[in-house]
Structure 1
Amino acid sequence: MTLTQKALAHATLYPLWLDNPAAPETCPHLVGAREADLLIVGGGFTGLWAAIIAKQRDPQREVVIIEAGKVAHGASGRPGGIVSTSVMHGLVNAERVFPKDIEMLEKLGIDNLDSWRETIESFGIDADLEWGGEMTVAVRKDDLPELRREHQLHMGHGHDVAWLDKAQVQAEVASPLFEAGIWSKERTGTVQPAKLAWGLKAAALSLGVTIYEHTPMEEVEDLGSKLRIRTHDGVITAPKVLFATNAWCAGHKKIKNYVVAMRDRVIATEPLSDEQLSRIGWTHRQGIYDTRTQLNYMRLTKDNRIVYGGRIGYYYGDKTDPEGDRKIEVYDRLAGYFFKTFPQLEDVKFSHAWSGPIDLTTRLAVHFQPYYGGKGVYAGGYSGFGVTASRFGARLGIEMLDDTGVPELDLGLANSLPRPIPREPFRWPGAAITMRALDEVDDKGGWRRAWVKMVHAMGFPL
């Protein structure tokens, strides 16, 4: 057996975050007919935040969530759980997509993160929240100019961000790959995402929100003044519906024109001993992203496991729970990246391996699709950066449904769409070639660089 095969031999193919005794009891599923003032389809971060915000604004409002499975068991219980201020997948992406709106987007990001934290604290949600910061590390000397530009961009917008040369970044986290880094210290850190979702669920219930789990939406009917949502065993009628359906894109057939359901693979080690942890340092416990073309991210958990992820993939037909990701060999390449990053941890074993759906768009940030004469709105497209931005997406989705006229609705982020993406059968061959190029471009170059450059030019910022 190879090193990676041995390390993965006893891994559980299930998310670490969800394998937790803190998991709450599920709510009953919907049977029969009922009405609501606001119906939210989807019990992930966006849906839970939307329900809390709507109920806090109007305690008399009848707010209902329906979730096809169990709360947190979709994308919300599967990410790395790195907390970030940006609502735009980072400053570089904001500059790329909405350069004229950066100042407003930066302010909205700060306000959103502060409100996100305030809600967690006010409801006493225990989600293993740590504020160690967020680091981006260069893994090749060729990446240093771009990292320098990113550092200057953050400095120019008032961020508390430090440049770390090779010696300094190695002093923070010892990896032979790390050439330099930038460390954002304000409003950034890590969270246990499933515990956050479960805490938000409890908060929503305490406010009087009704939640139905194991209640998949099967049909939407436009009645003129209201929408009728049929589920497996019931029906709900409501004048306003938020489709918080992430990569599932449920709610209208056109949603998938702008969203691709990608797969993000993640592995988690067994808890590191104090001696093992001393080999790498990491005393400030930052969340980390690297500059590989096929990006990797990493962070520490409360019990000192390393969660390491980022090798994305795609399955034909936008599958959100593919059988292929239930095979341990799928995670072998990712484990190989882990040991290249931390060769001094060759004695570490992996306890969990899992994948999760990412609602990828060409914008790499939340967008909004209104349907049914504005009675229904889809909010999604976080592209893997929705742990905090989902609150922002939820709030703007409610503002849009309620037609509040807040200034944020005039921003391009709120009133424009990402570039459309070809549907199947064209998605799969393009995605397959792109995934292979991303996996190999850093080591082999050649046609892979030309392909990635072409994909960038088409509007897909990989």
Structure 2
Amino acid sequence: MGHPALADAAPAVYWLDQPDRPARRPGLGGASSADRSADLVVVGAGYSGLWTALLAKEADPSLDVLVLEAGSVGWAASGRNGGFCSASLTHGEANGRARWPQEYAALHRLGLENLDGIEATVRRYGIECDFRRTGELTVATRPHEVQWLAEESEGELLDRDAVRAHLDSPTYLAGRHQPDETAIVDPARLAWGLARAAESLGVRIAEGVRVTGLATAGSGVDVATSEGQVVRAARVALGTNAFPSLLRRTRLHTVPVYDYALMTEPLTGTQLAALGWSSRAGVGDMANQFHYYRLSADNRILWGGYDAIYHYGRRLEPSLDQRPATFDRLATHFFETFPQLEGLRFSHQWGGAIDTSTRFCAFYGTAHRGRVAYATGFTGLGVGATRFGAQVMLDLLDGAQTERTRLAMVREKPLPFPPEPLAYTGIQLTRWALARADRHEGRRNLWLRTLDRAGLGFDS
């Protein structure tokens, strides 16, 4: 028997479950040989691919750009996430300062410029995706997390009364508010809008076209599809992220991790007043197994996170999008956080896969003699960081030396995850250790300390 608030929840992604979602675009079909070639072929029509296509066409309107998508625009991680568009390129201040202390100031600046660029694009093309620069509220719900918040430097530190003035929950002990570094967005409408903007400049998008392989061919790359077609590309940008890499060299560098979310029915005016959520800032807590939540345009609460589920063998399949045990756990946590909303119901429940790397943020590179570029491993912050990743891929394909390509973060690669069965065993042990640390004042056991020293991690 599940949580009663989930009784009517549809097993569907709220953002994608909209009557005005765009019609399916055709595939390559009987395209002529001329139509099966391009100056730039982009694999994947999520944020990585769409930003790459749009930025490439803006930089050079004469460029012939073709996007190949196995499903439909934004159907995977890009259309089913929480809609937090963060300026961070490094999965937060602590991770960035620990890994790249000498260049963190530059990474922070570039991240803010990237967020500004996203906002400017949304305005320039009239993309109606409820983009709001609300900022983010990070909350502590355990005493040891208060000290963690105090050790950070960005944003305003809030005591118990001040954080509850932002958003009222009896679980909050402290908070930190960063007003300028996070925007809230409808993720599916952002993807749909980026696709329309790219098409308005002449980019071609073919849906239902699964790319199965790449092969160096003369001065270009042959892109093979599951329908037996071959597309000839001068250059290729890969935006496959959580899905199996088309490059053998990167297949062990990420794992797909399933993340889950709930969406409530719309709140009444009385229910909103009981929260006092006037800033509408996105919220995340400080736990290792953390929650994230925000308001939608129609005053629903998206509530997600906590469980980060890895399936043996890097398994990906639609049946894994639904996990009743996690939904029940999330619903219980929701009403523990907001007891004043008792009686509220959830309208949607869903999950999806995130591409996680051991350094918690994206990594970059090239293959096929510099004709193929990739950016992958965004670890949950891809709504914003994919635009930066697209710029890096285009720089790499151009062979350009830029501030971006000179960054150690861009030049270095994370340590890979091990093959099975070591990957599954290690990830399950890490999840157990992280949960244990949450219950024991944040104290990291020998396993977690060993991973820290090795520069390894696991997160969603």
| TM-based fold match above 0.5 | yes
Aligned partner of 1:267 in structure 2 is 262
- The reply to whether residue 362 of structure 1 matches residue 364 of structure 2 is no
Q: Is the 8 A contact 2:40 2:65 kept in 1?
A: yes
In 2, the alpha carbon distance for the partners of 1:445 and 1:184 equals: 25
Q: Is the 8 A contact 2:136 2:282 kept in 1?
A: yes
What is the deviation of 1:250? 2.5
Structure 1 counterpart of 2:351, which letter?
A: S
The 3 A distance-change label for structure 1 pair 367 and 210 is: same
What is the deviation of 1:309? 0.9
Aligned partner of 1:377 in structure 2 is 373
Aligned partner of 2:116 in structure 1 is 114
- The reply to whether residue 240 of structure 1 matches residue 242 of structure 2 is no
1:381-427, Cα deviation, whole Å (9 max, x unpaired): 11000111110000111110111221221111211101111022221
What is the deviation of 1:288? 0.7
Structure 2 counterpart of 1:164, which letter?
A: L
- The reply to whether residue 169 of structure 1 matches residue 163 of structure 2 is yes
What is the deviation of 1:326? 2.2
The 3 A distance-change label for structure 1 pair 267 and 449 is: farther
Q: Secondary structure at the match of 1:239?
A: strand
Q: Is the 8 A contact 1:324 1:330 kept in 2?
A: no
What is the deviation of 1:90? 1.6
| Matched positions, count | 452
Q: Secondary structure at the match of 2:348?
A: strand
In 1, the alpha carbon distance for the partners of 2:415 and 2:102 equals: 19
In 2, the alpha carbon distance for the partners of 1:415 and 1:399 equals: 12
Q: Is the 8 A contact 2:164 2:172 kept in 1?
A: yes
* Paired-residue identity, %: 38
1:214-248, Cα deviation, whole Å (9 max, x unpaired): 10001211114111011123221112101111111
Deviates more, 1:451-460 or 1:185-194: 451-460
In 2, the alpha carbon distance for the partners of 1:371 and 1:398 equals: 13
Q: Is the 8 A contact 2:49 2:67 kept in 1?
A: yes
What is the deviation of 1:251? 1.8
Q: Is the 8 A contact 1:22 1:195 kept in 2?
A: no
What pairs with 1:175-324 in structure 2 (closer than 5 Å)? 175-233=169-227, 234-310=229-305, 311-321=307-317, 323-324=319-320
In 2, the alpha carbon distance for the partners of 1:414 and 1:27 equals: 34
In 2, the alpha carbon distance for the partners of 1:392 and 1:445 equals: 36
Q: Is the 8 A contact 1:328 1:353 kept in 2?
A: no
Aligned partner of 1:69 in structure 2 is 71
Q: Is the 8 A contact 2:212 2:246 kept in 1?
A: no
What pairs with 1:87-126 in structure 2 (closer than 5 Å)? 87-126=89-128
In 2, the alpha carbon distance for the partners of 1:253 and 1:188 equals: 34
| Structure 1: gaps of 5 or more residues | 155-160
Choose the corresponding residue for 1:388, options 379, 384, 388: 384
Q: Is the 8 A contact 1:8 1:328 kept in 2?
A: no
What is the deviation of 1:163? 1.6
What is the deviation of 1:98? 0.9
What is the deviation of 1:353? 1.1
In 2, the alpha carbon distance for the partners of 1:449 and 1:334 equals: 26
In 1, the alpha carbon distance for the partners of 2:310 and 2:170 equals: 30
In 2, the alpha carbon distance for the partners of 1:26 and 1:129 equals: 24
Moved over 3 A (4+): 436-441, 443-458
Structure number with the higher helix fraction is 1
- The reply to whether residue 430 of structure 1 matches residue 426 of structure 2 is yes
1:148-176, Cα deviation, whole Å (9 max, x unpaired): 111x2x2xxxxxx2221100101111111
In 1, the alpha carbon distance for the partners of 2:401 and 2:440 equals: 51
In 1, the alpha carbon distance for the partners of 2:178 and 2:442 equals: 34
1:399-456, Cα deviation, whole Å (9 max, x unpaired): 1011122122111121110111102222112222323443454236899844444443
- Structure 1 vs Structure 2 CA RMSD: 1.8
In 2, the alpha carbon distance for the partners of 1:200 and 1:53 equals: 10
1:43-64, Cα deviation, whole Å (9 max, x unpaired): 0001000001000111110000
User: Normalized against structure 2, the TM-score is what?
Assistant: 0.94
In 2, the alpha carbon distance for the partners of 1:223 and 1:111 equals: 37
Q: Secondary structure at the match of 2:175?
A: strand
Structure 1 counterpart of 2:246, which letter?
A: G
